[in-house]
Structure 1
Amino acid sequence: MENKVKFIKMHGTENDFVLFNGMSETLPEFDEKIVRKFCDRRAGVGADGILIIMEKPGYDFHMRYLNADGSEGGMCGNGAMCAVKFASDLLNKSELKFSASDGGHRGWVNDDLVRITISADAEGNNCTVDGRDGYFIDTGSPHFVTELIEAEEDDLKTVGRKIRYDRLFENGANVDFLKIMDNKYFVRTYERGVENETNSCGTGAVAVALMLNQTKSVDFPIELIFPGGVLLVDKSDVEGEVILEGAVKNVFQGSVLL
């Protein structure tokens, strides 16, 4: 028997998601086929991933993230900011506690501007992948940060895919390409699970900011410029975490038979 399920399309600096409210509705099992169908930009709604909001004791909500290819995702910074905005409107609260695949987080909402905490406990490491120097760090999702070479700018998908599947990364890695110009930090990210470049990446912004702070002594707050907009990473009042800040937008909402 088919059920009509409501959804909302949201994006954070053009990193876009289809969100389902499991706190108020009974949802079907989201298998790989359903996820791929929703995320397909020609035959579906179109998104970089699926967000499912659920109840969890001790928290305002729990966020489950599914990659566009149907696989279970790690922490997603932009997705979490979208989820916080949605839950804030639903619960009429501007400050929330939520959990994700990597544990507990805090979030704050001021109109369309959202701030969330991200763990900064992980120690990054300089490493070389296929002769290319970079910095590997896990910010809830694994990231390899490396310099953007001008000759690669038009073929980032091919370059990113090669690094993403390198045998050095047991479970694969997201790849963040950094270009420093006029003391500004421009970032492009190839995301595993999407298997393509996305217009921004929240955990990628944190990874780049931590690399800049830890290896180049760049002070917080650090502004990262992505193709889809600007994300800010700042110090937190709690040791071992940072604050990720960005704008979130509701695009449209609808319902579908599943």
Structure 2
Amino acid sequence: MRVPFIKMHGLGNDFVVLDARVDDVPELTGETVRRLADRFTGIGCDQLILLAPSADADFAMRIFNHDGGEVGACGNATRAVAMLHGKEARIATAGGLLLASPTQGGASVDMGVPRFDWEAIPLAYPMDTLSMPVAWDMLENPGAVNVGNPHVIFFADDTDAVPLDRLGPEIENDPLFPERVNVNVATIVAPDHIRLRVWERGAGLTLACGTGACATAVHAMRRRLVEPKVTVTLPGGDLRIEWSEGGSIRMTGPATESFRGSFEWADYA
């Protein structure tokens, strides 16, 4: 059977979207996801997104990383599917309910309330997540935030000088993080501006990570390094993040539909 897809991206973080609300989509397996995500023999993407009906929301969104593993949240994908939906939406995810509204050229998303307890990250043992007494080479004393998926955040004088392609996978798979972790390295440019690079769990170096931008901004705000409204500049472009302590995170930024097509399911099953 042929299955339609929509190729989209948010600041270069790209997705293959399958819409089971309107199309017949067989049960996904990790192997099918990996084959579709392959940039040489498949469609190619950082994440595969499956939309489905929901009894508790306007629709449900499942998120699969390039390696086939399912995750709870993806900020860039949320903006993309909000733009695709075309109106305000309540989106059910494994990481919780998200509220999204399309904007000119993108969307604004209520990403929910961040969690800071060590069990919520999760970490392997109790630790202060505001300043963790751990280090990997020049990266030390990070913070940790869960925004639907786990993030560890480091500050550096120059994020571009950090060998994230080497340290990213080492930190991602460290036993301290039993569910692995997304690795963020940030530079504070000004009280309203952060530069950020992200090693994404299950996907690797990425041009943009919406939940990483949220987690990094929130951690910088908790450390009183930036204001409650900041621009986060990633290799793919800018996101606007707003947060007040105890409240939800608001993320605003662009999303783009690249093209549409279809594929033969049996070729990737």
TM-score between both structures, scaled by the size of structure 2 = 0.87
Q: Which residue of 1 aligns with 2:121?
A: none
Q: Structure 1 residue 152: deviation in Å? A: 7.0
- Residue 125 (structure 1) aligns with: 130
* Residue in structure 1 matched with residue 109 of structure 2 by the alignment: 116
SS in 1 for 2:163: helix
- SS at 2:71 equivalent: coil
1:107 to 100, 110, 128: 100
| CA–CA distance in structure 1, aligned partners of residues 257 and 218 of structure 2 | 29
> Counterpart of 1:168?
176
SS of equivalent to 2:179: coil
Correspondence list, 1:79-118, <5 A: 79-88=77-86, 94-118=87-111
User: Is 1:6 paired with 2:4?
Assistant: yes
How far apart in 1 are the matches of 2:48 and 2:226?
Answer: 34
In 2, Cα distance between equivalents of 1:170 and 1:40: 26
Query: Which residue number in structure 1 is paired with residue 163 of structure 2?
Result: 155
Distance between the aligned counterparts of 2:113 and 2:239, measured in 1?
16
Preserved CA contact (<8 Å) 1:224 1:230: yes
- With normalisation by structure 1, the TM-score equals 0.90
The unaligned stretches of length 5 or more in structure 1 are 89-93
Q: What SS does the aligned partner of 1:126 have?
A: coil
Matches of 2:206 and 2:224, distance apart in 1: 26
In terms of fraction of residues, the more strand-rich structure is 1
**1:210 corresponds to which of 199, 218, 222:** 218
Matches of residues 180-219 of structure 1 in structure 2 within 5 Å?
180-181=188-189, 184-194=193-203, 196-219=204-227
Pick the aligned partner of 2:247 from 231, 234, 240: 240
Q: CA deviation at 1:43?
A: 1.3
Query: Separation in 2 of the partners of 1:182 and 1:222?
Result: 9
Alpha-carbon separation, structure 1, partners of 2:114 and 2:184:
19
Report the identity percentage.
28
1:186 CA displacement: 0.6
Task: Please state how far the C-alpha of 1:207 moved relative to its aligned partner.
Answer: 0.5
Aligned equivalents of 2:130, 2:148: Cα separation in 1: 16
Other-structure match for 1:91? none
Q: Give yes or no for the alignment of 1:143 onto 2:136.
A: no
- Helix, strand or coil: the match of 1:97? strand
- Provide the alpha-carbon RMSD of the alignment: 1.9
Counterparts in 2 of 1:79 and 1:182: CA distance versus 1, 3 Å? same
- The offset of 1:148, in angstroms, is 3.5
Check conservation: 1:60, 1:98, Cα contact below 8 A. Answer: yes
The whole-number CA distance in structure 2 between the counterparts of 1:97 and 1:106 is 5
- Rounded to whole Å, the distance in 1 between the matches of 2:156 and 2:7 is 31
- Which of the residues 207, 222, 228 maps onto 2:236? 228
SS at match of 2:180: coil
- Higher mean Cα deviation, 170-179 or 212-221? 212-221
With over 3 angstroms needed to count, the CA separation of the structure-2 counterparts of 1:8 and 1:247, relative to structure 1, is same
